[in-house]
């Protein structure tokens, strides 16, 4: 089974794809989609839309896991909400199965502590996926963490 994790953002959208087989997870692909800050908002959202329409069919995930909005700075939350809207539209158009998790749920799943530090989550991702170094950039590492969280919450992957 293949799970695609997405860490939504307008400037940087992280993605991480893992393969789950026999209760083990391996990294498939990870990276970021970026949009230039000097573009108008509509063009940036269109760029995310287009890039996701190319990325998702290329990765062919069985499940997509998405970070749910978690409010901390209102101006940042609004921009992320706009990017999430585009992501949800693309996922619907491509008929993707979706699971959503808040940041504390991801931290709890990977470290056992819902307020864990970012470095603790990154180290858990590195360990779980048997990577020689911490995954970079941070948005991609977060996306891998979201995908790993989905692998632990979906009974269909524990056959």
Domains of the chain: 2-157 (3.30.420.10)
pTM of the shown model: 0.93
Active site residues: 7, 67, 139
Integer distance in angstroms from the first to the last C-alpha of the chain? Answer: 11
User: Could you tell me where the beta strands, DSSP code E, fall in 42-159?
Assistant: 63-67, 98-101
Give the mean pLDDT of 15-31: 93
- Average pLDDT for 118-136: 95
Q: Residue 74: pLDDT above 70?
A: no
Cα Rg for the chain, rounded, in angstroms? 15
Nearest to 5 by CA among 121, 100, 89: 100
The predicted model gives 127-135 an average pLDDT of 95
Provide the angle, in degrees to the nearest 10, between the axes of the packed helices 74-93 and 41-59.
40
Q: Is the pLDDT of residue 103 over 60?
A: yes
Question: Are the C-beta atoms of 60 and 43 separated by less than 8 Å?
Answer: no
Q: Which residues pair with 24 in a beta bridge?
A: 21
Average pLDDT, the chain: 92
pLDDT at 34: 97
């Amino acid at each position: 089974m293949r799970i695609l994790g997405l860490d939504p953002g307008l400037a940087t959208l992280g993605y991480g794809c893992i393969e789950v087989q026999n209760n083990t997870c391996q990294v498939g692909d990870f990276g970021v989609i970026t949009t230039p800050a000097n573009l108008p908002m509509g063009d940036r959202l269109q760029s995310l839309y287009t890039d996701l329409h190319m990325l998702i069919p290329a990765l062919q995930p069985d499940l997509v896991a998405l970070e749910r909005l978690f409010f901390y700075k209102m101006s940042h939350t609004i921009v992320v909400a706009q990017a999430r809207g585009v992501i949800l539209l693309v996922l619907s158009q491509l008929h993707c199965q979706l699971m959503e998790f808040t940041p504390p749920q991801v931290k709890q799943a990977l470290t056992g502590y819902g307020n864990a530090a970012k470095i603790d989550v990154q180290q858990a991702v590195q360990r779980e996926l048997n990577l020689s170094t911490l995954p970079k950039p941070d948005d991609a590492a977060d996306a891998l963490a979201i995908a790993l969280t989905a692998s632990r919450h979906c009974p269909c992957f524990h056959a």
